[in-house]
Copies of this chain bind each other. A is one copy, B any other.
Amino acid sequence: MDNFPQTLTSKLTDLETPVLVLDRDRMDQNIQKMRSNLARFSVNFRPHVKTNKSIDVVKNMLGDTSGAITVSTLKEAEYFSAHGFKDILYAVGIIPSKFDHVIRVRQAGTKLIVVLDSLEIAQALGDKAKQARTSFDVMIEIDCDGHRSGVDPESASLIEIGKALVAGGQNLIGVMTHAGNSYNCRSIDAIKKMAMQERDAAVRCANRLRDAGIACPTVSVGSTPTAMLADNLDGVTEVRAGVFVFEDLVMAGLGVCGAEDIALSVLTTVIGHQKEKGWIITDAGWMAMSRDRGTSKQPVDQGYGLVCDLNGELLSDVLVVDANQEHGVIAHRSGDPAKTPDLPIGTMLRILPNHACATSAQHAQYHVVHRDSFDILAVWARFRGW
């Protein structure tokens, strides 16, 4: 039932809370900002759809289905393929038990690109291609920042993998890397350096492959922070980013956006008070917000989210300080009960999330509104699962 939009009620104020709200104007502005930013470079844009998992959001991002996208699961690949997308990068290392699934999606006419970072998988893919009388589109994953997966840019295995793929008849699309550590940067300057490091690693690997006589047409990089702040993308052909479409408090904490740019919020209602403590109890707990506490590692910890009024205007220094499954606890940042705003039972609020990917994953749909309106324009379904 998750993919089936609820009956369309006309206004936010008619909804039973908690619900996920998407401000379309802020979203469009975020998309526009990323587009203008990337227009400075000659790169293709391959947005990551894992943040939104919604055909409606992605169509708004790309206009139509002719563009390239990045996915984080084969279910996403299948879903977007079924909705007309034909150029999809599955950005999580492929394994033999998923080869058949990849082949199924490709048989629907979709160019589904897989990534890998080991000779072992490159060889297994070659065996599978032979056995299934097919070939695969492949990118080699590069580790540009020690964050998780990928081959070391200087390793011998990069060339070995490239050679094995070509020898096995695969279509080596190029190299890809993701500067996941950009989320841990503490200054704009640090993000700019990380963007350079990400670029350098990818370009270095592409050139190493080329020097070894292996074609490497695509050089793909990206994360929302590095994509927004890169000064130099020479040699890069493609940029990926996902969170930018909604933005969130982690991005605001990095300085990549302002809190006023965040397009996603959880609509909640005040259900009670503990007045001596300065606590306001709401019906948006961690089930609605997610357990993500991404800002806890940043200089300013935003708890489980920042509190806005129903119009989406921030209340000054009011945050969700704790969350149980279906209860949120709101208080003033200072902890001073006298500073907690007077919000009677029944007051509706909107909470800005730490992490757009995690909070939206807790919901089956987006209730779409304009910035200064309570009217619900649309209900967009999200999907989930693997």
Contact = CB atoms under 8 A, between A and B. Distances in A.
Contacts of A92: 271, 283, 326-327
Interface string A244-288: 000000000000000000000000011111100101010100111
Nearest to A94: B271
Nearest to A277: B146
A2 interface: yes
Interface of A is mostly: loop
B385 A2 contact: yes
Interface stretch (A116-124, A128-136, A214-222, A311-319): A116-124
Central interface residue in A143, A270, A272, A385, by most chain B CB within 10 Å:
A272
Central interface residue in A16, A120, A386, by most chain B CB within 10 Å:
A386
Contact of A281 (B146, B148, B327): B148
Interface residues of A, number: 64
Contact of A272 (B149, B269, B281): B149
Contact of A98 (B16, B97, B270): B16
A37 interface: no
Given A345-B121, A385-B364, A180 B324 contact: yes
A221 to B, nearest CB: 17
A2 B384 contact: yes
B2 A364 contact: yes
Central interface residue in A94, A329, A345, by most chain B CB within 10 Å:
A345
A77 interface: no
A93 B143 contact: no
Given A16-B98, A50-B325, A149-B281, 19 more contacts: A1-B2, A1-B3, A2-B3, A17-B386, A72-B326, A92-B271, A92-B327, A93-B271, A97-B346, A121-B345, A146-B277, A148-B279, A148-B281, A148-B327, A148-B329, A180-B324, A293-B293, A364-B384, A364-B385
Interface of A: 1-3, 16-19, 50, 72-74, 92-98, 101, 117-118, 120-121, 143, 146, 148-149, 180, 269-274, 277, 279, 281, 283, 286-288, 290-293, 322, 324-327, 329, 345-346, 355, 357-358, 361-364, 383-386
What 4 A-B pairs come out closest when comparing CB atoms? A2-B2, A291-B291, A93-B271, A291-B292
